[in-house]
Amino acid sequence: MEKELEVYIKDVLEVCSSRAAFVIHHIIEHGSINSEQIRNAGFVHGARAVGDVRDNGIPLVTNNIKSSDNRTIAEYTFGPASEIRKHKFGGRINFPASLKGKLIERDGLYCAISKQQLPEKELQIDHRVPYYISGDIAGDRDPSDFMLLSKSLQRSKETANKSCNLGIERGFERPA
């Protein structure tokens, strides 16, 4: 493992979740981890465990392999140190309670994409620039970096971003 990646991983292990730590330690010890191994360790949402590692800026390479029952599953290894995303160190940070109020004050109870008026409980805070690009900053947040989305559009956007990232990991480029 490259020294820069080794040092960065050591720092991340001091602050990351137990899910991320499990994935990281397994890759260090065995060279890789696959979704079957993550599930067998008791992590029902293996993709979330891997996401926790990526959310801390550690590069992972995804390859397809066959599971014990011959299904195609993902296998993960560390990527090159040149792909470390230090701006994501520490992973996702909870939004301050006041942020949603500031967004409602600015935009009203409207979804930023559909423009549909919704009850407050149906709106969720979302990054204008996806987290995987910009990372997060602790403390007060600038409301101009965020928007309110309906729960269903938030999930759709999240799924679309994950699909786009998967294509990038497999060597496909984003359209200009």
Give pLDDT, residue 79: 97
How would residue 140 be classed by pLDDT, with cut points 50, 70 and 90? low
Token pair in block for residue 14? 């001091």
Asked if the model's pLDDT at residue 72 lies above 80, the reply is yes
* Mean pLDDT, residues 17-28: 95
Sequence letter at residue 82: S
Q: How is residue 149 annotated by DSSP?
A: E
Domain boundaries, the chain: 3-88, 97-169
Q: Model-level pTM greater than 0.75? A: no
Strand partners, 149: 124
Which candidate, 67, 55, 45, places its Cα nearest to that of 24? 55
Give pLDDT, residue 128: 82
The CATH topology of domain 3-88 is: Arc Repressor Mutant, subunit A (1.10.10)
Q: Tell me the per-residue pLDDT of 120-130, one tens digit each, with 9 for 90 and over.
A: 999 998 888 77
| Residue 80 Cα to chain centre, angstroms | 18
Contact assessment for residue 46 and residue 64, using Cβ atoms and an 8 Å cutoff: no
Q: Tell me the per-residue pLDDT of 2-12, one tens digit each, with 9 for 90 and over.
A: 999 999 999 99
- Rounded Cα gap, residues 132 and 92, in angstroms: 10
Contact assessment for residue 154 and residue 146, using Cβ atoms and an 8 Å cutoff: no
Asked if the model's pLDDT at residue 167 lies above 90, the reply is no
Domain range 97-169, CATH architecture: 3-Layer(aba) Sandwich (3.40)
Question: Please, what is the average pLDDT of the chain?
Answer: 84
Which candidate, 1, 59, 62, 4, places its Cα nearest to that of 35? 62
